[in-house]
């Protein structure tokens, strides 16, 4: 049930209609059941896994609250972390590590060694709901939030269908109180939710899906062997594809949440206008980057223990961030590139003042200096995305080796034109949002104007949508 499919809207419309005719308790039960139905639509076999892990953490949380003074608090806390990461590790990384070990033995000349290689299917959204469960357990243990007394409230926080498959990763202190408290219908927020859904559909169906056609051609060899121009088309195109795809998903998720009276955090803030990678990670997939900061980087010591350990903590955090995206060495290299560049940024461009930990130095004041930094940051990002997109390390290295070949073919001109045609509107929107600090374009204009925009977007979706066979990129994570 993809967010851009008719089946999803046939699900969403009656859910929203019935939801607002129930009282608060009934709303939570109804939404939880609807979310389980939504998840079961993907693969009903994994419903028991998600419900089981949700139930385990709900019960464990009662035992680890500071006020309980349970002598086994710490043991229950550690048990929950081990349980969650073991489940995630088995389903997401078992094949990867066993396969890598088999490849190492093969390189050493030990062939045909029998290994317990079991093909394990990845449950949809397991990375996202596992991170939410871990955040909840940590926050309860540290006394930041109270443990939920209602399974329906907690279950809804974990399983609300709008964020279940690909986030944004919701923080317990933000979403759980919204599940616990009564929600009222707000026509303005409902209308804003509809606008976010239209914004997300434009980003996904027009920008991402059309860029995907160019990216698949570049990485698939349809544009000829890799050379400078093919690499630029493939990496630049993939940058706009994954941005349009995931920011589109996040907009639709946030819009659906607002139709139901919930508020989700903003997950993207014009990331391609970042003037350094540290700034990029404050703008890109914000729910993941802040999770990694608060639950991994800072517990490792953050930047408090000296420069050498700060470099270590940054590298470890980014490598694990890369591995979070998938069980492939390409994702490890993607994370490692960021883990190397981030400390280099600190060394070559240190902040003159640090009013708070991890503060980003102010952008250059000159127009040309600012855009030079933005262009450099974007190209470093695109270099790392070549590994993100390639199916293997060998394929990524072969693809990037084409940078030394400058051969030009006439069809590249039309390919670059199409890339500009589909990415430029989103780039202009980001410039507008950066200047106005709005959540979506023209948020402060009249209802009539925004309704006209929505009608235009509906027409554009019918005329310019790309292939409907492209699932959201982050559904695989």
Ranges of each domain in the chain: 21-184, 189-351+358-476
Q: Six-digit token pair at 304?
A: 């408090």
Within 10 angstroms of residue 4's Cβ, the number of other Cβ atoms is 21
| In the predicted structure, residue 449 carries a pLDDT above the cut 60 | yes
The pLDDT assigned to 5 comes to 87
Tokens 């982050």 label which residue? 474
- 275, 285, 325, 338: the catalytic one is 325
Structure tokens at 179: 């599940």
pLDDT of residue 102 exceeding 80, the answer is no
Residue 262's pLDDT is: 96
Tell me the per-residue pLDDT of 133-176, one tens digit each, with 9 for 90 and over: 999 999 999 999 999 999 999 999 999 999 988 879 999 999 99
pLDDT score, position 68 = 67
Q: Tell me, what's the pLDDT at 461?
A: 85
- Which of 47-56, 367-376, 446-455 is the least confident region? 446-455
Q: How confident is the model at residue 238 (pLDDT cuts 50, 70, 90)?
A: very high
- The winner for highest mean pLDDT among 21-35, 91-105, 364-378 is 21-35
Q: Which tops the pLDDT comparison, 132 or 3?
A: 132
Residue of 196, 207, 212 lying closest to 244 (CA atoms):
207
Q: Which ranges of 44-186 would DSSP assign to H, the alpha helix?
A: 47-64, 73-107, 126-141, 151-159, 161-164, 172-180
Say which range, 59-73, 131-145, 354-368, 382-396, has the weakest mean pLDDT. 354-368
Q: Is position 394 annotated as part of the catalytic site?
A: no
Query: What pLDDT sits at residue 357?
Result: 46
Taking the model in full, what pTM does it have? 0.90
Distance CA 267, CA 7 (A): 25
**367-389 and 228-259 helices cross at what angle (nearest 10)?**
90
Residue range 259-273, pLDDT digits in tens: 999 999 999 999 999
- What does the pLDDT read at residue 453? 86
Q: Report the C-alpha gap between 159 and 126 in whole angstroms.
A: 11
Phi, psi of 22 (to 5 degrees): -115, 160
Residues 157 and 291: their CA atoms lie apart, in Å, by 16
pLDDT band with cut points at 50, 70 and 90 for residue 467: low
Q: Does pLDDT of 354 surpass 50?
A: no
Cβ atoms 130, 88 nearer than 8 A = yes
Query: What mean pLDDT is predicted for residues 93-120?
Result: 59
Sign of CA dihedral 81, 134, 300, 169: positive
Residue 253 in tokens: 């998720």
Which pLDDT score, from 0 to 100, does residue 355 have? 44
Q: Is the pLDDT of residue 438 over 70?
A: yes
| Among 63, 92, 358, 388, residue whose Cα is nearest residue 219 | 388
Look at residue 240 in the predicted model and tell me its pLDDT.
Answer: 97
131 vs 170: CA distance, rounded Å: 9
Q: Per mean pLDDT, which range of 184-193, 294-303, 359-368 is the poorest?
A: 359-368
Average pLDDT along the chain: 88
**Token pair for residue 344?**
């280099």
Specify the pLDDT at position 117: 53
Q: What is the DSSP string of 3-32?
A: TTSHHHHHHHHHHHHHHTTS-HHHHHHHHH
pLDDT digits (tens, 9 = 90+) for 180-236: 999 999 999 999 999 999 999 999 999 999 999 999 999 999 999 999 999 999 999
Examine the pLDDT at 90 and tell me if it is beyond 80.
yes
**Averaged pLDDT for residues 339-366:** 71
Residue 298: asked if its preceding bond is cis (omega within 30°), the reply is: no
Task: Give the rounded percent of residues in the chain with a pLDDT score beyond 90.
Answer: 69
Asked if residues 179 and 156 have their Cβ atoms less than 8 Å apart, the reply is yes
User: Tokens 């729910």 identify what position?
Assistant: 287
Confidence of residue 353 (pLDDT cuts 50, 70, 90): very low
Closest by CA to 429, choosing from 442, 448, 444, 416, is 442
- Confidence category of residue 409, pLDDT binned at 50, 70, 90: very high
């Amino acid at each position: 049930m993809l967010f851009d499919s008719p089946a999803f809207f046939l699900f969403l419309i009656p859910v929203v209609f019935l939801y607002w005719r129930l009282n608060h308790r009934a709303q939570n039960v109804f939404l939880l059941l609807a979310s389980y139905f939504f998840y079961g639509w993907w693969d009903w076999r994994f419903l028991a896994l998600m419900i089981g892990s949700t139930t385990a953490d709900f019960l464990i949380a009662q035992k680890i609250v500071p006020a309980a003074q349970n002598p086994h608090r710490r043991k229950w806390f550690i048990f929950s972390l081990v349980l969650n990461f073991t489940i995630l590790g088995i389903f997401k990384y078992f094949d990867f590590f066993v396969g890598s070990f088999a490849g190492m033995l093969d390189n050493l000349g030990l062939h045909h060694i029998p290994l317990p290689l079991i093909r394990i299917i990845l449950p949809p959204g397991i990375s996202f709901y596992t991170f939410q469960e871990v955040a909840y357990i940590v926050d309860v243990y540290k006394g930041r939030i109270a443990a939920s007394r209602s399974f329906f409230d907690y279950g809804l926080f974990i399983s609300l269908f709008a964020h279940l498959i690909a986030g944004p990763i919701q923080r317990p202190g933000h979403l759980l109180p919204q599940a616990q408290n009564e929600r009222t219908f707000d026509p303005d927020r409902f209308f804003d939710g509809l606008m976010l859904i239209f914004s997300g559909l434009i980003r996904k169906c027009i920008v991402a899906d059309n860029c995907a056609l160019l990216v698949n051609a570049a990485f698939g060899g349809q544009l000829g062997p890799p050379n400078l121009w093919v690499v630029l088309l493939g990496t630049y195109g993939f940058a706009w594809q994954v941005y349009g795809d995931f920011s589109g998903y996040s907009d639709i998720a946030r819009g659906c949440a607002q139709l139901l009276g919930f508020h989700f955090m903003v997950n993207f803030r014009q990331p391609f206008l970042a003037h350094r990678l540290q700034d990029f990670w404050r703008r890109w997939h914000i729910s993941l980057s802040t999770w990694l900061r608060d639950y991994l980087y800072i517990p490792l010591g953050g930047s408090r223990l000296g420069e050498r350990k700060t470099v270590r903590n940054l590298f470890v955090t980014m490598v694990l961030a890369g591995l979070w995206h998938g069980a492939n060495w390409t994702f490890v290299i993607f994370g490692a590139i960021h883990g190397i560049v981030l400390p280099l940024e600190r060394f070559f461009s240190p902040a003159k003042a640090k009013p708070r930990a991890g503060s980003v130095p102010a952008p250059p004041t000159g127009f040309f200096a600012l855009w030079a930094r933005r262009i450099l940051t974007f190209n470093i990002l695109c270099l790392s995305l070549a590994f993100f997109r390639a199916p293997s390390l060998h394929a990524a290295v072969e693809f990037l080796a084409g940078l030394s070949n400058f051969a030009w073919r006439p069809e590249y001109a039309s390919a670059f034109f199409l890339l500009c045609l589909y990415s430029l509107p989103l780039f202009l929107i980001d410039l507008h949002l950066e200047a106005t600090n709005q959540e979506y374009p023209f948020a402060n204009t009249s209802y009539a104007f925004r309704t006209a925009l929505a009608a235009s977007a509906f027409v554009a979706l019918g005329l310019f949508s790309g292939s409907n066979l492209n699932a959201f990129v982050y559904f695989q994570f």
